[in-house]
Structure 1
Amino acid sequence: MTRTVYVVGAPMDYGADRRGVDMGSSAIRYADLSDELAAAGVETVDGGDLLVPRAEERDPGDESAKFLPEIEDVCTRLADEVADAIDSDNTPLVLGGDHAVAIGSLVGCSRDADIGAVWFDAHGDFNTPETSPSGNIHGMPLAAALGEGRFETEEWANASGLREENIAYVGLRTLDDTEKDAIRASDMTAYTMSDIDERGVIPVVEDALDVATAGVDGIHVSLDLDWLDPDEAPGVGTPVRGGATYREAHAALETVAERDREADILRSMDVVEVNPILDESNRTAEIAAELAASALGKRIL
């Protein structure tokens, strides 16, 4: 049966300091996303974008968790969109927006299901309002979904079916000191860029998928474009040198698709942190569209 992908945009930039990532969903669509998905052999339903008021119209409020009420509103609505798509036997593809949108993706994906997650990112996203040096919630989505710190009482953010032991990072390369300690103390599995250098990207992703899929109903894949090296994907708000190459990124997402063909594991996916203001000729958005298609089954042959 042909997979149907439900595309929904979450043009939110409340989670970061640098403006512009709210245009990411439009940029990815403009980068021929629909053609890329057609080449992957899937049918597409585009649900449009959630309505998100501009950050400039709002007060960031609490400096330890900026724009928290606004992020709650967006992610609550996004969680419903994701859960409804899954209930309709569709695969939701969420276009960010900053990485805080993943709170909604995870909550929706885990509604009435046990899930794992594969997190392609330069950063750990495991800060809390108590530990974050910036107060930017795009650095907190995994902590929020797992109910860490202050998020323990933020029920809207807690992904009840997400299992810590089924979360695998792929390609970490920059962490805050308190974040390092928290990840080490957790049951999550972290593969750094050094692991990819030593072992190659495909064995690392295969191991990450083993972790994420063990004993669950399916997985969420979260792709932050700053996982790639900024020479490949310059249009991101927090670039870090030494990331994945273009070919490594495609090999990684093709590995996800191969496992999905074998075991039907992919429940949802988000693609985040594309900032057209910082991009060069929409390169990063084009890569985002291509990588989403690779995860959903596009192959060379």
Structure 2
Amino acid sequence: MPTRFLIVPQWQGSSSSRAMQLMDGAAAIAGDLPASATTTVDVPMEAGESLGTGVHRLSSISSVRDRALAALTELSAIGDGPVVTIGGDCGAELAGVQHAVSRRPKGTMALVWLDAHGDLNTPETSPSAAFHGMVVRALLGEGAAPLASTGDTALAPNALVLGGTRELDDGEAAFVDEAGIRVVTVDELRSPDALASAVEATGADSVYVHVDLDVLDPGAIEGVQFPEPFGVQPDELVAAITALRARFELAGAGITEFAPRTPDAASDDLSVILRVLSALTRALPET
């Protein structure tokens, strides 16, 4: 089945003062996708309420997750091909990963989180209370109850691989050490096979690949809200994804956190983004 795309222009999970520019970023990427293979989730304009959970804008984030899950269920009825989510903030990926986990035997899917940040906070440890810094912890089954995965849809820590992560809050760093989370560093990603080897160690036979564009070096892309120096180069990221797909079934993928300041700035970055998207979606040579 051909790849399908789910546009989730969620901004409510971001802690940036420019959060709503994430909607522009999602629209810019969607403009280069085939309309016949693209579904857009309606994201409310209202910020939403925390509902006493310690997660800013939780009510809107929960509503978007439910709408995205419904869209993914409809797409699954059409066929089994992978769906690539286009965010929005990293929380836009919540539904995509939860849906992919639910469709596979427990323990058979790994999650590769390519991101300058760990996104492993809980409401108790988060300095910002923004959900885009809590997404992965929710996928592991911890955090605010309306969002956290439960039962067989929760990933185990040994199914998670962080790639290119170079900025962790204190609570996140402690959790990475305690849980034994695999981290593939920027230096290690210079070897195309490093990421695939880390996934192989999980025992999984399929992989969901999340790309927060701030995993890239700031010199390679401008339209991100939380750039971190000394990131991954586009060629290295493309090679790592290509090597990963050569060894594992792609259960799904996502690209998030594109927030261009202007339409012209969006155009300048799209060539890099489309290279990453191509690595996730292009047909692999038959072996």
- Tell me the TM-score normalized by structure 2: 0.87
1:60 deviation in Å? 5.8
2:268 aligned with 1:283? yes
1:127 deviation in Å? 0.4
Q: Name the CA shift for 1:161/1:45 in 2 (closer, same or farther; >3 Å).
A: farther
1:171 deviation in Å? 0.8
SS in 2 for 1:193: coil
Q: Which amino acid aligns with 1:128?
A: T
Q: Which residue of structure 2 aligns with residue 46 of structure 1?
A: 37
Q: Name the CA shift for 1:92/1:299 in 2 (closer, same or farther; >3 Å).
A: closer
Q: Which amino acid aligns with 2:222?
A: P
Q: Which residue of structure 2 aligns with residue 137 of structure 1?
A: 131
| Structure 1 alignment gaps of length 5 or more | 35-43
Matches for 1:179-258 after TM superposition, within 5 Å = 179-196=172-189, 200-212=190-202, 214-216=203-205, 218-258=206-246
Distance in 2 between residues matched to 1:61 and 1:286, nearest whole Å: 40
1:252 deviation in Å? 1.6
SS in 2 for 1:270: strand
Q: Which residue of structure 2 aligns with residue 117 of structure 1?
A: 111
The structure whose RCO (Cα within 8 Å, separation 6+) is larger is 1
1:129-165: CA deviations, max 9, x gaps? 01000011001111011122x33x3366447153321
Q: Which amino acid aligns with 1:107?
A: Q
Q: Which residue of structure 1 aligns with residue 258 of structure 2?
A: 274
1:4 deviation in Å? 1.2
Distance in 2 between residues matched to 1:48 and 1:160, nearest whole Å: 24
- Figure out how many residues of one structure are paired with residues of the other and give that number: 276
1:110 deviation in Å? 1.1
SS in 2 for 1:9: strand
1:254 deviation in Å? 1.6
Distance in 2 between residues matched to 1:81 and 1:202, nearest whole Å: 34
Distance in 2 between residues matched to 1:188 and 1:163, nearest whole Å: 10
Q: Name the CA shift for 1:59/1:155 in 2 (closer, same or farther; >3 Å).
A: closer
Q: Which residue of structure 2 aligns with residue 77 of structure 1?
A: 67
* Identical aligned residues as a percent: 24
Distance in 2 between residues matched to 1:21 and 1:67, nearest whole Å: 16
1:282 deviation in Å? 2.5
Q: CA RMSD in A?
A: 2.4
Residue pair 1:86, 1:92 contacting (<8 A) in 2 also: no
| Structure 2 alignment gaps of length 5 or more | none
Q: Name the CA shift for 1:55/1:255 in 2 (closer, same or farther; >3 Å).
A: farther
Residue pair 1:13, 1:55 contacting (<8 A) in 2 also: no
2:14 aligned with 1:23? no
Distance in 2 between residues matched to 1:137 and 1:155, nearest whole Å: 10
1:281 deviation in Å? 4.3
Distance in 1 between residues matched to 2:40 and 2:186, nearest whole Å: 33
SS in 2 for 1:266: strand
Distance in 1 between residues matched to 2:181 and 2:283, nearest whole Å: 29
1:54 deviation in Å? 1.8
Q: Which residue of structure 1 aligns with residue 90 of structure 2?
A: 99
Distance in 2 between residues matched to 1:55 and 1:295, nearest whole Å: 32
Q: Name the CA shift for 1:220/1:45 in 2 (closer, same or farther; >3 Å).
A: farther
Q: Which residue of structure 2 aligns with residue 38 of structure 1?
A: none
2:2 aligned with 1:14? no
1:215 deviation in Å? 4.1
